[in-house]
């Protein structure tokens, strides 16, 4: 007898077909799909408008493998970090980031990461596996619930900037955005979602060709090939020229300006020559720039944040060059929830 299948891996059409194969109507299949994604059911017993007989049949033929909150930590600034336990005993982290104007969920796409970025704590972990679309969706569902409980409002934004490289888990990341934004799911606006990549040129092109409707961010952090490769080994196979071409293609195809994420690190990328390189790169295609405070990652790496004065000079220099720039202040540092700090010490 075959093992029960994960019902959340099925599309809507496949779910309907599976129910019909069990002797049920297409309508019942639509009900089950709605329970899974619009109502967030984590077990068949929760599907209360289905008969007990049908729920038992579903239980016999399928499984649901939701993630669970393992440890929840709340920062002094209101940031909430969740360690999530997966069905196979792996752990990931997601973060809820409140500000005066919005509440943002930062979600993970892989267990660990394979890209070895030198300034990022997750980069020092081994990649174990990709997350399923349902596991990404569960992070959003749980963090949205926490936003309602703690801040009285749902999520304004969702950023794929947690553990892992989203474009190396392309199919599941893509499906998760469809579940989050689809009418059969959470029905959130596509413009609320930003997918961030360390820079895989051919996959950026694929996103554009596939008609992506969400926002795109590139973790740049250096606009000089030698310097960028030293801190982000992925640059050796996806250099700045290829990334610039891919981002220009993205803009031409989607009409949406990508965001360049630039973490300013003392002695690495915070001097006048590096500012000039960033300006030159950003002028190659329409874009926005986020300057990010570096968050130390303990004994994993010796990097330090740049001074407040240098960070401001970078911002002023970019504005003087008539580029769109925002300075992103770190939040959740006291619980290792800030950008680049996710390593899951709580498991």
| Cα–Cα distance for residue pair 194/184, rounded to 1 Å | 21
181 given a catalytic annotation: no
**Distance of alpha carbon 12 from its chain centroid, rounded?**
24
Tell me, yes or no, if 82 is annotated catalytic. Answer: no
β-pair partners for 194? 159, 215
In angstroms, the first-to-last Cα distance of the chain is: 35
Are 262 and 252 spatial neighbours (Cβ–Cβ below 8 Å)?
no
Query: What CA–CA distance (Å, rounded) separates 115 from 123?
Result: 6
Q: 49 vs 31, 39, 53, CA distance in Å?
A: 9, 12, 12
CA Rg value for the chain: 21
DSSP code of 127? P
224 and 277 in contact (C-beta within 8 Å)? yes
Element (H or E) spanning 136, and its range?
helix 133-151
In the structure encoding, which two tokens stand for residue 183, read together? 């009418």
CA–CA separation, 189 and 315 (whole Å): 30
Angle, CA 74 vertex, CA 69 and CA 77 arms, to 5°? 145
Residue length of the chain: 347
Catalytic residue (choose from 24, 82, 93, 287): 93
Q: Residue 141 has what DSSP assignment? A: H
Three-state DSSP at 212 gives coil
Q: What is the dihedral of CA 323, 227, 295, 157, to 10 degrees?
A: 50
Q: Which is catalytic among the residues 82, 106, 120, 339?
A: 339
- Which residues are known catalytic residues? 93, 339
């Amino acid at each position: 007898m075959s093992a029960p299948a994960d019902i959340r891996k099925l599309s809507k059409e496949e779910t309907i077909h599976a129910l019909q194969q069990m002797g049920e109507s297409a309508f019942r299949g639509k009900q089950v799909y709605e329970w899974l994604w619009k109502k967030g059911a984590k077990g068949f017993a929760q599907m209360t408008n289905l008969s007990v007989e049908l729920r038992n049949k579903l239980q016999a033929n399928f499984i649901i493998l939701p993630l669970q909150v393992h440890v929840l930590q709340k920062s002094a600034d209101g940031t909430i970090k969740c360690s999530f336990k997966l069905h196979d005993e792996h752990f990931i982290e997601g973060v809820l980031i409140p500000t005066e104007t919005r509440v943002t969920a930062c979600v993970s796409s892989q267990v660990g990461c394979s890209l070895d970025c030198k300034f990022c704590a997750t980069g020092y972990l081994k990649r174990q596996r990709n997350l399923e679309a349902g596991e990404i969706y569960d992070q959003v569902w749980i963090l949205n619930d926490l936003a309602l409980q703690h801040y009285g409002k749902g999520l304004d934004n969702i950023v794929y900037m947690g553990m892992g490289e989203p474009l190396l888990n392309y199919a599941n990341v893509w499906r998760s955005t469809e579940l989050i934004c689809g009418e059969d799911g959470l029905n959130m606006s596509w413009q609320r979602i930003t997918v961030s990549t360390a820079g895989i040129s051919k996959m950026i092109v694929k996103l554009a060709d596939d008609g992506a409707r969400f926002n795109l961010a590139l973790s740049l952090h250096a606009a000089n090939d030698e310097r960028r490769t030293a801190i982000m080994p992925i640059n050796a196979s996806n250099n700045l020229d290829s990334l610039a071409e891919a981002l220009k293609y993205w803009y031409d195809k989607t009409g949406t300006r990508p965001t360049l994420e630039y973490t300013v690190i003392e002695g690495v990328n915070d001097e006048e020559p590096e500012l000039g390189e960033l300006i030159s790169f950003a002028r190659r295609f329409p874009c926005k720039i986020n300057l990010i405070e570096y968050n130390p990652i303990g004994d994993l790496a010796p990097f330090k944040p740049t001074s407040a004065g240098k960070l401001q000079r970078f911002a002023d220099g970019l504005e003087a060059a008539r580029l769109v720039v925002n300075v992103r202040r770190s939040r959740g540092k006291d619980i290792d929830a800030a950008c680049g700090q996710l390593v899951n010490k709580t498991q």
